[in-house]
Amino acid sequence: MARRAIAHIDLLGVRKLWKEGGAVRVRDRLREFSDLVIEQLAHLPSDLRRDGEYTVILQGDSASIICQDVSQAIGISSHLFVQAFYATDRVSRPFWLRGSVSDWHNQYLPTNSDPVTANGIHVGTQYTFEDDFLRDCTGEIRIPWNAVDCRERLCSASS
């Protein structure tokens, strides 16, 4: 069945952890978050599982779940939010999450995007930043903090 909705859940507080405890605390927190998502997706109520018809993309401090419809996206998101609340006694600090649910059409965006393909099949689009949006007050181009930056920081801190 086609996927028509997407849920996105973001873990808050990661930047603060960089300042407080560096790469080790961030790595541990991201592991707690990914463990929660993976564990809870394995225990979804059967009406949300629908024979596994959803795709999960875990990237650092966020999870995107591409679902069959908005009802499934809301159900899975609600399940993850509730379980994050109940996981408070098993993690280093309570999870603060935010999220959204939207229609998913898997189509090209009109501007500032590049197609994403897998095995020659169009699977989505990736937003491309324009240089003007990335310039700071000195005119230097600054790349926003992102998962690549996070991965580089984690790797350099562990070596």
What is the number of structural domains in the chain?
2
Distance (Å) of CA 97 to CA 13, 37, 140? 9, 12, 33
**18 with 41, same domain?**
yes
Cβ burial, residue 124 (10 Å; 0-12/13-18/19+): middle
Are 122 and 58 part of one and the same domain? no
Cβ atoms within 10 Å of 140's Cβ, excluding its own: 8
pLDDT one digit per residue (tens) for the chain, 159 residues: 567 889 999 999 988 988 888 888 888 999 999 999 999 988 888 888 776 678 888 888 999 998 889 999 999 999 999 999 999 888 888 999 999 999 887 655 555 566 667 777 666 666 565 555 445 556 555 444 444 444 454 455 445
Q: Do 55 and 130 belong to one domain? A: no
Full domain range(s) for residue 129: 106-159
**151 CB-near residues (< 8 Å, 6+ apart):** 60
Taking the C-alpha atoms of residue 55 and residue 47, their distance in angstroms, rounded to an integer, is: 16
Query: How many whole angstroms separate alpha carbon 150 and alpha carbon 75?
Result: 30
Q: Are residues 37 and 88 both part of a single domain?
A: yes
